């Protein structure tokens, strides 16, 4: 702490012995030792408090960084999920449109085939249902209703 050599300490001791006197010197030295000990403990406590505050401040900064990183990740995951969901919905609508077109083309072809068959056999139109008209059609891909 202080740069005091042994010769300087000896000079201070001789001056203290002359000024204070040999009777009161041990009591003054003891009191001075207690005061220096208290001063050292106080300085060490202040240093420890400062170090604790610095560590707490660093932990708060780290906590804030982790929270912001978690929020960024959560935000990116939700954006990706919404993009995937919108993509699935667009594919589903496209498939539904294609299916509707296929069904209308099939129905037109089936009507023409039925008319052609009825005319050839002489039956009245509309009595013989086609197998395609009886089977229910699936409107979406299997498993998409779970998404």
Give domain status of residue 147, yes or no: no
Residue 104 has pLDDT above 80, yes or no: yes
First vs last Cα of the chain: how many Å apart?
71
Give domain status of residue 58, yes or no: yes
Give domain status of residue 55, yes or no: yes
Give domain status of residue 48, yes or no: yes
Give domain status of residue 135, yes or no: no
Give the residue among 133, 109, 106 at the shortest CA–CA distance from 117.
109
User: How far apart are alpha carbons 82 and 23 in whole angstroms?
Assistant: 90
Q: What is the pLDDT of residues 22-60, one digit of tens each?
A: 899 899 989 999 999 999 999 999 999 999 999 999 999
114 touches 103 (CB < 8 A)? no
Range of the domain at 82: 7-121
Give domain status of residue 145, yes or no: no
Report CA dihedral (20, 23, 28, 30) to the nearest 10 degrees: 150
**Residue range 82-97: mean pLDDT, rounded:** 93
């Amino acid at each position: 702490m202080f740069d005091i050599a042994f010769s300087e300490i000896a000079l201070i001791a001789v001056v203290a012995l002359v000024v204070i006197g040999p009777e009161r010197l041990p009591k003054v030295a003891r009191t001075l030792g207690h005061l220096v000990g208290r001063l050292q403990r106080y300085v060490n406590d202040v240093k420890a408090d400062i170090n604790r505050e610095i560590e707490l401040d660093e932990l708060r900064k780290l906590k804030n960084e982790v929270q912001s990183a978690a929020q960024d990740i959560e935000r990116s995951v939700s954006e990706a999920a919404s993009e995937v969901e919108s993509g699935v919905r667009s594919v589903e609508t496209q498939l539904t449109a294609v299916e509707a077109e296929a069904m209308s083309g099939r129905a037109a072809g089936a009507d023409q085939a039925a008319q052609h068959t009825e005319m050839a056999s002489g039956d009245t139109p509309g009595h013989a249902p086609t197998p395609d008209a009886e089977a229910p059609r699936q409107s979406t891909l299997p498993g998409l209703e779970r998404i």
